[in-house]
Amino acid sequence: MPRDRPLLEFGPVPTLPPPSYAAAHDDEEEKDAPPRRWFHYFPTCFTVLFILAPHPSWMIVLTKYHLGILHDRQSFAQHVFVTYTLTALALASLFTIIVTDPGRPPANRGRNDDNEELDFTQALLADDLDISSPGKWCRKCWAPKPERTHHCSHCGRCVFKMDHHCMWLGYKCLGHRTYTSFLHFLLCVTLLAVYIACVCVTAVYYAFTNPLTIDEHTPLHEMSLSLGGIILTMVIGPFLIYHIYLTSTNQTTLENLSPFLLLRQLPPLPPQHQSERHRLSDPPLEHELSFNQRRLVRDAHGYVRLYDIGWRKNWSQVLGYEGPFGWVHRVLVGGGGTGDGMTFPRNPQADELLVRLAAELVDADKIS
């Protein structure tokens, strides 16, 4: 009698495919954070409170010192106007950051301009992108990812020209449409802190040199405001200077702190021999680089500015406005950068520098 066949047959266990090239290059593979909750806005409330908290002490100083002792109504009016104008401008730019979308790819919104569903084929053909190429396709949003666009794990979405995610400003990303408002906010807060500190330091000096002409409580307000203004200037001031440098060189925080993003921009590598110790992919993977090759990339990051087109044009790209009175909006609330956020003019010398970097990477492998 023929032997009965088993009810279940198990074939060979299939092996898992190797990770895709895009996955190996993708540095944004961390798990997305849970949806935004109400407690995520606590830091934003603290930011608003931090801006408004000094004003009661500030009014005491202005009333007791400038009106009660100096009897200088003109200085009193000037200080009130300057401080509350800067406060209003800072809050206006903060509100603009909170309510404005920093920008996202069209396919990431799920609908096009005609309010129709954007299917997978349309998304592929929109920019003629290859989903296996690094940095061109977001495998979380499953949508095209234009240049300078990054996926934020906190927001769970891609952001045009993403600079960084900030929990203090609405728990949102700062990107193409909100970065100008962010600069505006930093500038207003820094100027406000410097102004209050300067006025109060002068008042403290007067209180110590004329102790009998002022009550014992006003100097406490003056010293606390002086100390707070100096500390805030020392904290926010360098941050403002850093972003002025980034704007002048047309970089984002991510681009400035991530030198190995240059690997995605490299042209085809020169021919490599199979016998080379560290044979590189094309373009190379970060973990494939030797010590000398990693040092070459870090050094190149200091002089290869892909989007630096001169400081005047760089600032025009961030602060540019349209119309004869467009500057009014920039002064009041900041606003967003010019362009569509998907394409940016490139440094004409960057391609030549990248070609030289690619050749140096291969040569460094031969030497090592």
User: Considering only CA atoms, which of 327, 270, 244, 262 is closest in space to residue 299?
Assistant: 262
pLDDT at residue number 125: 46
Cβ atoms of residues 248 and 91 within 8 Å: no
From first to last of its 368 residues, what are the pLDDT tens digits of the chain?
A: 445 555 445 455 444 444 444 445 555 545 556 677 778 889 999 999 999 999 999 999 999 998 889 888 999 999 999 999 999 999 999 999 999 999 988 754 444 444 444 444 444 444 444 555 555 788 888 888 888 999 998 888 899 999 999 999 989 999 999 999 999 999 999 999 999 999 999 999 999 998 888 888 899 999 999 999 999 999 999 999 999 999 999 999 999 999 999 888 888 888 766 555 557 777 788 888 888 889 999 999 999 999 999 999 999 899 887 767 777 878 888 888 888 888 899 998 998 999 999 888 888 866 55
pLDDT at residue number 117: 43
Residue 152, H or E segment: strand 150-152
Q: What does the alpha-carbon distance between residue 285 and residue 25 come to, in Å, rounded to a whole number?
A: 6
Q: What does the alpha-carbon distance between residue 130 and residue 113 come to, in Å, rounded to a whole number?
A: 23
pLDDT at residue number 1: 47
Amino acid at 324: P
pLDDT at residue number 321: 73
Q: What does the alpha-carbon distance between residue 88 and residue 12 come to, in Å, rounded to a whole number?
A: 69
Other Cβ atoms less than 10 A from the Cβ of 259: the count is 17
Active-site residue identified among 138, 152, 155, 166: 166
188 counts as catalytic: no
Q: Is 244 exposed, middle or buried (0-12, 13-18, 19+ CB in 10 A)?
A: middle
To the nearest 10°, report the CA torsion of 158, 163, 164, 166. Answer: -100
Tokens 């291969």 locate to 362
Cβ atoms of residues 96 and 178 within 8 Å: yes
pLDDT at residue number 331: 82
Tokens 């090239």 locate to 21
pLDDT at residue number 7: 47
User: Considering only CA atoms, which of 136, 45, 148, 139 is closest in space to residue 102?
Assistant: 148
Question: Tokens at residue 319, please?
Answer: 């602060």
Residue 150, H or E segment: strand 150-152
Residues 6+ apart with CB under 8 A from 358: 266, 267, 268, 269, 270
- Give how far Cα 22 sits from Cα of 293, 297, 364, Å: 21, 20, 25
**No. of H helices and E strands in the chain?**
13, 6
Q: What does the alpha-carbon distance between residue 87 and residue 190 come to, in Å, rounded to a whole number?
A: 11
Cβ atoms of residues 290 and 365 within 8 Å: yes
pLDDT at residue number 361: 87
